Amino acid sequence: MKNHYISEYLKLKCSGQLQELFSQSSNPWKEVTESMSAYKNVKEFIDVKDGSITNIFIGDGSLCLTGALFSFITKGQSVSIDPKINMNKVAEWQSREKVKRLLKIDSKFQNIPLPWDPIKKSNCNLILVHAHVNLEELVSHFPNWNMLFTNPCCNPFEQTFSVQFQKENDISVLRAGYDKFNLSPKNMVFVYKNNKSEGKKPYQLDKECVNNGGRKRLEKR
Ligand SMILES: C[S@@+](CC[C@H](N)C(=O)[O-])C[C@H]1O[C@@H](n2cnc3c(N)ncnc32)[C@H](O)[C@@H]1O
């Protein structure tokens, strides 16, 4: 069967560079379609050419695959947050391939202290591919998000917003459905918009933060 996402991925100029990361995952073809699905489902809702946008990937796995893909195909800053990130492996790849716009934080999102400026004050997008996190807890922690993509897996009720939570928090659904090109059996996707963030300026990560991997600020607390 022809897979549209795999064909598009292979046509990307960066696919050779990314392949070194994707090939280390247990199921590369599936992972490619999951990350491409995130991109394809959000690209009409974010300005992929805007360098001031911060896309935050929660539960991005040990190899930060979706954050890595976005760091090539969007102009924004990618931030991958997952306690299981293999920092050495991803850092070696970044330095070999000169990948600058990918910041990685090997921590649970709950351990990022709330006055952490890049996320607390910013308008950012939250992107979750099979992330084992509770969405309502996540947005309580990072309230200044614009758009949120989720591809739920094991616990869809926690990995999506309840209708009541949407109403109470002025959240709209931009997209909900199954993505047949995402080759995971868990291929339900949702895109939400935080109406409260409308009109706020997007946040730009500062250089110090990018250079020290966000760690200095975390360690200060
Ligand atoms: C099923 S894996 C998905 C990994 C990757 N996104 C993928 O699709 O291959 C779920 C990930 O969520 C991460 N995770 C669980 N709790 C988390 C938390 N509180 N903050 C950040 N990441 C978390 C886990 O460490 C794990 O890597």
Centre of ligand 1 from the C-alpha of residue 61, in Å: 5
Nearest Cα residue to atom 1 of ligand 1: 130
Which domains, and CATH codes, for the chain? 4-220 (3.40.50.150)
pLDDT at site 219:
38
Q: Which of 203, 76, 77, 84 is nearest to 142 (CA)?
A: 203
> What is the mean pLDDT of the segment spanning 32-53?
94
Q: Distance, CA 180 to ligand 1 centroid (Å)?
A: 22
Does 47 have pLDDT greater than 80? yes
Count, in order, helices (H) and strands (E) of the chain.
10, 7
Convert the pLDDT of each residue in 73-108 to its tens digit.
Answer: 999 989 999 999 999 999 999 999 999 999 999 999
Substitution site in 132, 134, 183 for ligand 1 pocket (most atoms within 8 Å of beta carbon): 132
3 state DSSP class of 93: helix
pLDDT band per the 50, 70, 90 thresholds, residue 198: low
Mean pLDDT of the chain: 87
Q: What atom of ligand 1 comes closest to residue 81's alpha carbon?
A: 21
**Has residue 220 got a pLDDT over 60?**
no
200 has pLDDT over 70: no
pLDDT in tens, 12-27: 999 999 999 999 999 9
What does pTM read for this prediction? 0.90
Is residue 67 within 8 Å of 57, Cβ to Cβ?
A: yes
23: its two tokens: 């090939």
Whether 149 and 128 have beta carbons less than 8 Å apart is answered as yes
Pocket of ligand 1 (CB under 6 A): 31, 34, 58-61, 81-84, 108-110, 129-133
Residue of minimum CA distance from atom 15 in ligand 1 = 132
What spacing in Å lies between the alpha carbon of 85 and ligand 1's midpoint?
9
Instruction: Quote the ligand 1 centre to 53 CA distance (angstroms).
Output: 23
> Which pLDDT tens digit goes with each residue over 96-153?
999 999 999 999 999 987 655 555 445 689 999 999 999 999 999 888 899 999 999 9
For ligand 1, atom 24, the nearest C-alpha belongs to: 59
Tell me, in angstroms, the distance from the centre of ligand 1 to residue 132's CA: 5
Look at residue 143 in the predicted model and tell me its pLDDT.
85
Looking at residue 216, its pLDDT comes to 44
